[in-house]
Structure 1
């Protein structure tokens, strides 16, 4: 399993959520949305301090992470977070 956050996506979150160097952004499983891995579930993000991080990556001074108890969602695959310049939106893809 792996978490990959592209620099442009990290900058978008940092600017849009007014995050500062040293902040943490938790990626979590939530009910609803348009997730492609598990029907009826998708991924959300929120500023939060880690308790038991299972995956993490520091980009643009922000630590992006998923708690151990949410790793089942990835099914031993990679989560890639990128930014689509054309549509000006974040793309979260499990590959």
Structure 2
């Protein structure tokens, strides 16, 4: 799984979550909601500066964005692009099939 964070999304995380270099954001699956690839689950995110068991990670503007190994099930078969949505003034997520699912 690959995580991509756009400049606009990075700006939002820095401004809204008060992030600075050395901080981290963890993405995870949570019960309730819907994504383009999951019914009954939605994506969650939380400030987490300790990526102890990260299975996928990327760094942008000094902040580490990651998925913990326990949440691999939620992202299996997909790469994640995190962008900024002007309409909702928050992050938007795009799941891109990476060929792991057949």
Q: Say yes or no: TM over 0.5.
A: yes
Q: Mark the CA change 1:43 to 1:87 in structure 2 (over 3 Å): closer, same or farther.
A: closer
TM-score (norm 2): 0.84
Contact 2:58 2:65 in 1 (8 A): yes
Task: Specify the alignment match of 1:52 in structure 2.
Answer: 53
> Which runs of 4 or more aligned residues in structure 1 lie more than 4 Å from their structure 2 counterparts after TM superposition?
none
Per-residue deviation, 1:50:
1.4
CA distance in 2, matches of 1:22, 1:3: 18
User: Any stretches of 5+ residues in structure 2 without a counterpart?
Assistant: 97-102
The root-mean-square deviation of aligned C-alpha atoms, in Å, is: 1.4
Aligned residues: 95
Task: Specify the alignment match of 2:35 in structure 1.
Answer: 35
User: Any stretches of 5+ residues in structure 1 without a counterpart?
Assistant: none
Task: Specify the alignment match of 2:74 in structure 1.
Answer: 73
1:79-90 counterparts in 2 under 5 A?
Answer: 79-90=80-91
